[in-house]
Amino acid sequence: RGRGAWWDEGRTVLHLGDRLITPEGEHPITKPFRSRHIYQRLKRLEGPCGVEPLSVHEAAVIVGIANRFRWEVPASGTLLLGWVVLAPICGALRWRPHLWLTAGAGSGKSQILDRFVAPLLGDLSLVVVGATTEAGLRQTICCDAVPVVFDEAESNEKGDQQRMQAILSLARVASSESSAEMLKGSPSGDVSRYRVRSMFLMSSIATALKQGADKSRFAQLTLRSPTEMGKEEREVHWQSLDRDLERHITPELARRLIARTVSLIPVIRQSVVVFSAAAARHFDSQRLGDQYGTLMAGAWSLLSDAVPTKEEAEHCIACHDWESYSQSTEVPDEARCIQTILQRQVRVETDDKPVTRTIGELVELAACHASCIDVSQGLAAQTLGRHGLRVDQDRLLVSNTAKAIEQFLADTAWQNSWPVVLLRLAGAQRAGPVRFCGAGMVSRAVAIPLGEL
């Protein structure tokens, strides 16, 4: 185990490179330490430096500043607080939620990271920018349990998109506590072993989240456009916020916040269980319960030294507007896959002229749920058949092997797995063999009720 906070058989261990901090006190890493884990000697971190933990009253300053950033959704301030509190102890958590901060240019993203987030994490974090790669992150983190703050995580060019997807793959693995290791080979034949236990905070103008698995692991925080405020009002707001950041967000406050969080690790772990259960009931999703319940537990630890009751957790969650978070994360892969197919535009050769229609429009025409002067029911059915699709009574049959569908799904996660993914849709069944007229083939298919489209 590298540097960071750990849960070691019922006790808290804070590994600061050359020493271990436990409830019993400071323990030099060169001396024997009773544990089934091996704590490596690494470069020294300062950590909390034995300061007095922050009180609930003093923590209110941090809460107030976080909520003064101009959020699109007010709950974003609470989620950012939860992340900042939990990030230094991410190695001691069962679930590690990530954040993605988005906003237009000039909205203050970098200010939040540079003046609020990074200072409060002290030296228990890895702050990177720009063209950082997955390999660079993985090799730097190695066996440490430290959060990653990634500014300018843009993915405009194709190379950047591939680089960011590799980093998101690393973050995906880091989310849950597992005994599984990541193995990487080398030209010399040696194998490097990694077990990433980091919480990620990404910042960019737009997110690079494509897969449903990533969207459910990242809470997306959005800042409002600066143009929504008048110039004078905007200047007054930022001048006031700038003064408070300069006055309150100091290295001393950061050390005391970390000391508070480390001392409350047993309480926070229990709070996560209570909040996750309440959030799972609220969102009707265990994944979202883990994600937002964990962040809420972190924010709660600034307001109380005790484990919340079931009623207190439910009240805290009910006090926030979660609609935008539900909508952005609840679209499963199977729904996004069929939507990608239905939204694909194809060329239809009519008697008069070629026209363009979406697959979804052709399905409605073939099922007689709509009418079109240019495209008849028969022509719609023929065009669908050439693309490996067929309307059969109240079902849409999707070929398991059609090259056209593979092209529709190019550059997506479902390009080679759509038959398996589509079977997760409500009422979907295996069908076949099915003849697809126009495509010149007979293949097995997935039958999807038209009512589910």
**pLDDT higher than threshold 70 for residue 400:** yes
CA triple 360-363-367, angle to 5 deg: 145
Q: What is the pTM of this model?
A: 0.79
Task: Point out the least confidently predicted range of 194-198, 229-233, 241-245.
Answer: 229-233
46-329: which CATH number, 3.40.50, 1.10.3470, 2.40.160, 3.30.470?
A: 3.40.50
pLDDT band at 209 (very low <50, low <70, confident <90, very high): confident
pLDDT on residue 327: 53
Beta bridge partners of 346: 357
331-340 pLDDT tens trace: 677 888 999 9
**What is the C-alpha to C-alpha distance for residues 451 and 367, in angstroms, rounded to an integer?**
11
Give 417-424's long-range contacts (Cβ < 8 A, gap of 24+): 418/337, 418/341, 418/446, 419/444, 419/446, 421/333, 421/334, 421/337, 422/334, 422/337, 422/338, 422/398, 422/446, 422/448, 423/334, 424/332, 424/333, 424/334
- The position carrying tokens 């200072």 is 119
Sign of CA pseudo-dihedral 324, 63, 118, 267: negative
pLDDT on residue 324: 64
Quick one: what percent of the chain has pLDDT higher than 90? 35
Q: Where are the domains of the chain?
A: 1-45, 46-329, 333-452
**pLDDT higher than threshold 90 for residue 264:** yes
- The position carrying tokens 């906003």 is 103
The chain-wide mean pLDDT, for the chain, equals 87
Q: What is 337-351 written as a DSSP string?
A: HHHHHHT-EEEEE-S
242-262 pLDDT tens trace: 898 999 999 999 999 999 999
> What average pLDDT does range 290-314 have in this prediction?
92
